[in-house]
Structure 1
Amino acid sequence: MLAYGYRKFGGPAVFETIRQPALEPAPNEAVIETLAVNLNDADRIERLGATPTTPLPLIPGHDVVGRVIKVGAAVTDLPLGTIVAAHTDHTYAEQVCLDADTVVTVPDNLSPAQAVSLITPGITAYKAVRYFADIHPGQTVIVKGAAGGVGSLAVQLAQRLGAKVIAIASQRHAETVKNLGVAQFVAYDHHDPAHVLADRGDVIINVSLNGADGKTDLAMARFDATIVSVAKRLPATSKSIEFHSIHPTNAISDQAALQMLFKLLSTDQLQTNIGYHLPFTLAGFIQGHALLDEPHNGRIIIEKDITE
C-alpha cells in the first residue's frame, strides 16, 4: 500500500511516496481503508522539524476517516465496511491501523470529508468550551481567533450552552463570523479589542495563533473571569483570573467529544468550513502543505475518490 511522508524536514516538497506492506491488525485493532484526512497546523510544524528527535522517515497525520477492511480476533462489534473516524497517528496512508476502542462510527448522512474536518478542531473546541472554560448559560464569552477551525466551532458550541458570544477576527472574515449569529463582532485589524471590550468577558477563549497577546485577554476579562488559551501562561496581572492552558486531556474522551460533534453536524446544529478538497495523491499532499504554509480559509481535506 502507498503512504506519503518524508525522510527529512523542510518545505512541502520533502514529501514522497513510501511503499509499505498491507497492514494486519492485532487482536484489538481494526485496519481501515483511508477515505479522507484532515490537515492541521501541527502537521506543518512537525514537517518543519520543531521536534528534531522525531524519527525519520515519518508518515504524518492525525485525523482520519475510513472504511473498516480488517479486524482483529477480539473485535466483535465493528462490522467490515463500517465508516469510522479516529484521532490517531500516521494517517497519510492508504491504510491505517486503529485501536478498535478509539474509533467513532460516522453517521450515514455525513461525507468522509465532513466528518474528518471536525476531528482535531472539533475535539479541541469541545474540550475548550465544555471542560477548560466550563461555560454556563448567560455568561459573556469572548472568542479570539473566531474565524479559524477551532474558533468557529467554539463560537457555536458556546452559543449552544446559552452564552452571549463576542467574536474577534480580522475584518476579511467579518461576514462569515457574523453569519454564526454572534452577539458582537470586533475586527482586530480595525479596532483595539482591549479598548472596545474592556472588562466585558466572563470567559475569554483565545485560540488565535499561539494564543497571541495575553495582555488583551486580561484587558477584556472581568474580575474573577476565566481565561482559556492555547498559550502556556498569562502576563502578570492584579485581576483575580482563573487560567487554563488548552492541552490534551482525557477528562472528556476524544470519542465522547466526536460522538457529540457528529450528532450536532449530522442534524444541522453545527457548521464546519471546508475550504479545499484535494486528491489523495503525492501532489495532493504537497499542495495541501503548501496551503498550510500560507494564510488560508477553511479546512484542507485530502480525500480519496470513492468511485474508484
Structure 2
Amino acid sequence: MLAYGYRKFGGPAVFEKMTQPVLEPTGNQIIIETLAVNLNDEDRSERLGAKAGLDLPVIPGHDVVGKILKVGPAVTGFKVGTIVAAHTQHTYAEQVSLDSDLAVTVPADLTPTQAASLITPGIIAYKTVRYFADVQKDQTVIVKGAGSTVGMLTIQLAQRLGAQVIAIANSRFTDKLTALGVEQIVAYDRQNPVHVLADRGDVIINVTSDGVGGKDDLAMAKFDATIASFAPSLPATSKSIRFRSIHPTNVISDQATLQMLFKLLRTGQLTVDIAQQLPFTLDGFIQGHTLLDAPHNGQLVVAK
C-alpha cells in the first residue's frame, strides 16, 4: 500500500511515496481505506521540523475520512463498509489503522471532503466556544482571527448560543463575515480594534496564530470578562479576568464534538469554507502543502 511522507524536514518538495505494509486490525482497531484528508497548520509545522520529538521518516496527517475495510475482534458498533471520520495519526496513506473509539460515522448526505474539512478546525472551535470560553446567551463575544476557518466556525457556534458576535479580521474577509450574519466587523488593516472596541467584550476569543496581542485582548475586555486564547498566558493586568489557554482536551470528547458538528453541517446550521480539493496523489499532497505555506482562505482537502 502507498503512503505519502518525508525523510527530512523542509518545504513541500520533501514529500515522497512510501511503501506501507498491509495493515491488520487487532483488538479494538479498525482499518479504513482513506477517502479524504484535511490539511492543517499542524501538518505544516511538523513538516518544517517545528514539533519536538518527531522521528523521521514520517507519514503525517491527523484528519481522515475513510471506508472501513477490516475490524478487530473487539470492535462493536462498526461494520465493514461504513464511512467514518477521525482525528488520529499517519493519515496521508491509502489505508489507516486507528482505535475504533476515535471514529464517528459520517452521515450519508455529507461528502468525504465536507466531513474531513470540519475535523480539526471544528473540534477547536466547538471546544473553545462551549468549554474554554463558555459562551452564554446575550454576551458580547469578540472573535480575533475571525477570517480563519476556526474563526468563522467559532462565530457561527457562538451565534447559535445567542451571543452577539463582533469579528476582527482583515478587510478581505468582510463579505464572508457579513454573509455569516456578523453585524459589526472591525478590519484591523483599516482601523485599530482597541480604539473601536475598548472595554466592550464579555468574552474575547483569540484564535490568531499563537494568540498574539494579549495586551489588546485585555484592552477590549470588560472587567470580569473571559479571555480564551491560543496564547499560554496574558500580560499582567489590574482587571479581573478569567483566562483560559486553548489546548487539546477530552473534557468534551472529539467523538461527541464531531457528531454534533456533522449534525449542524448536514442540517445547514453550520458552514465550512473549502478552498480547494486536491487529488490523492504525491503531486496532490505537494500542491496542497505549497498552498498551505501561502496565505489562503478556507480548508485544503486531498481526496479520492
- Cα deviation 1:20-68 (Å, max 9, x = unaligned): 1121111211000000000000111111011353111000000000000
> Partner of 1:152 in structure 2?
152
How is 1:66-81 mapped onto 2 (pairs within 5 angstroms)?
A: 66-81=66-81
Name the aligned partner's letter for residue 212 of structure 1.
Answer: V
Name the aligned partner's letter for residue 134 of structure 2.
Answer: D
> Partner of 2:194 in structure 1?
194
**TM-score, scaled relative to structure 1:** 0.98
Q: In 1, Cα distance between the equivalents of 2:166 and 2:51?
A: 36
| CA positional deviation for 1:102 | 1.2
Aligned residues: 304
How is 1:284-303 mapped onto 2 (pairs within 5 angstroms)?
A: 284-303=284-303
Q: In 2, Cα distance between the equivalents of 1:86 and 1:279?
A: 20
Deviates more, 1:213-222 or 1:46-55: 46-55
Name the aligned partner's letter for residue 238 of structure 2.
Answer: S
The runs of 5 or more residues in structure 1 that have no matched partner are none
How is 1:94-109 mapped onto 2 (pairs within 5 angstroms)?
A: 94-109=94-109
> Partner of 1:38 in structure 2?
38
| CA positional deviation for 1:76 | 3.1
> Partner of 1:130 in structure 2?
130
Runs of 4+ in 1 over 4 A off after TM superposition: none
> Partner of 2:212 in structure 1?
212
Name the aligned partner's letter for residue 301 of structure 1.
Answer: V
| CA positional deviation for 1:204 | 0.3
CA-based RMSD of the aligned residues comes to 0.7
How is 1:170-249 mapped onto 2 (pairs within 5 angstroms)?
A: 170-249=170-249
Q: In 2, Cα distance between the equivalents of 1:269 and 1:50?
A: 36
- CA change 1:52–1:139 in 2 (3 A) is closer
| CA positional deviation for 1:183 | 2.6
How is 1:74-93 mapped onto 2 (pairs within 5 angstroms)?
A: 74-93=74-93
Name the aligned partner's letter for residue 199 of structure 1.
Answer: D
> Partner of 1:277 in structure 2?
277
**TM-score, scaled relative to structure 2:** 0.99
> Partner of 1:110 in structure 2?
110
| CA positional deviation for 1:236 | 1.2
- CA change 1:54–1:180 in 2 (3 A) is same
